[in-house]
Amino acid sequence: MKTLSQINPYQSTIRKTVYCSGIGLHSGNRINMTLRPASANSGIRFVRNDLGYSSPVPAFMNRVIDTTMATTISEGNASVATTEHLLAAINGLSIDNIIIEVDGPEVPILDGSSAPFVGLLLQAGIRQQKSYRRLVKITREISFRDGDRHISIYPYDGFKVTAEINFKHETIKRQVYSVALSPQKFVAEISKARTFGFLEDVEKLQKNGLALGASLENAVGMDENGVLNKEGLRYDNEFVRHKIVDIIGDMTLLGCPVLGHIVAYKSGHSQHLKLMETIAATPDAWEFVELKKDGQLSVLNKFVSRTRAAGNRFLPILSPVASKRPLSIQ
């Protein structure tokens, strides 16, 4: 038995139902969102309440159907885009179980960061549940390389993210940031960092009917002279901090928290997904563990955890063949 006293061993959900509404980045339409408490071991699920009866979309990597501009997941005829900033807030605050209802095909973009979602979740309140948390504990390095982009995860008794970005643009250039996460650090150092884009790219996208909701209200916009937003940047390295928002949000799709240190170089949604798929495909490089009171940690028998007794929320990782969809992306 090892100890991890800094991590809450119990699962959590929110205390009450909360609502918000905002513009969808891609459609430009108004989206209403409701966050509801959920029972222990039920995980994170999206519901499209505009589609009449449709299956919930579990926040799992094997439900990802697109990673080109944001992370989109789907189940049956229901799809939900731009999941990552909301999932980052849920993961950043260590919430395990929640139902997210939206009445359109994407999560509202709000201000382009995780901060408004953090505010909404804190307004709902966080309620500790009786079940212990189960995590993936990395025991040796797992890496994925894609041209000059690469992402790795190393053994670490906690959840730490180090990201590096490198842009030719003078305003960004090379930025590196590293954070050993706790809910407090997530809120203070990471949650407020907004997504960013270059004016010429946004103009091109909008001509093609994409990013219709994009504005300086929900992103840091740049042209060749620098930042276009009157208020300037929220952190002088806001860009790399936003990359960490995306990494934390995407890694939520592993289906449970991870104990490890992620090191990412020029990564995007596609590489984040590939890292999770590589983790799933390398079961000898991690253990499935349960936290106990006083920070003790017990390794769950992998054979037992292949059964329903381990909770359906983790089944797709331990047994990819049992999941409805193959683990692969375009």
Q: Which residues of the shown chain bind Zn ion in the complex (CB under 5 A)?
A: 195, 246
Quick one: 96 or 246, whose CB is closer to Zn ion? 246
Quick one: 84 or 277, whose CB is closer to Zn ion? 84
Quick one: 238 or 277, whose CB is closer to Zn ion? 238
The torsion region of residue 281 among left (phi > 0), alpha (psi -120 to 50) and beta comes to alpha
Quick one: 41 or 195, whose CB is closer to Zn ion? 195
For the chain, how far is it from start to end, CA to CA, in angstroms?
41
Residue 143 Cβ vs Zn ion, minimum distance, rounded to whole Å? 23
Active site residue 269: yes
Residue 180 Cβ vs Zn ion, minimum distance, rounded to whole Å? 21
User: Catalytic pick from 26, 261, 269, 272?
Assistant: 269
Residue 187 Cβ vs Zn ion, minimum distance, rounded to whole Å? 17
The torsion region of residue 278 among left (phi > 0), alpha (psi -120 to 50) and beta comes to alpha
Separation of CA 29 from chain center = 23
84-92 and 115-124 are packed helices; what angle lies between their axes, rounded to 10 degrees? 50
**Alpha-helical regions (H) of the chain:** 84-92, 115-124, 183-185, 199-207, 238-251, 269-280, 302-305, 315-318
Residue 203 Cβ vs Zn ion, minimum distance, rounded to whole Å? 20
**Alpha-helical regions (H) of 188-268:** 199-207, 238-251
> Active-site residue numbers?
269
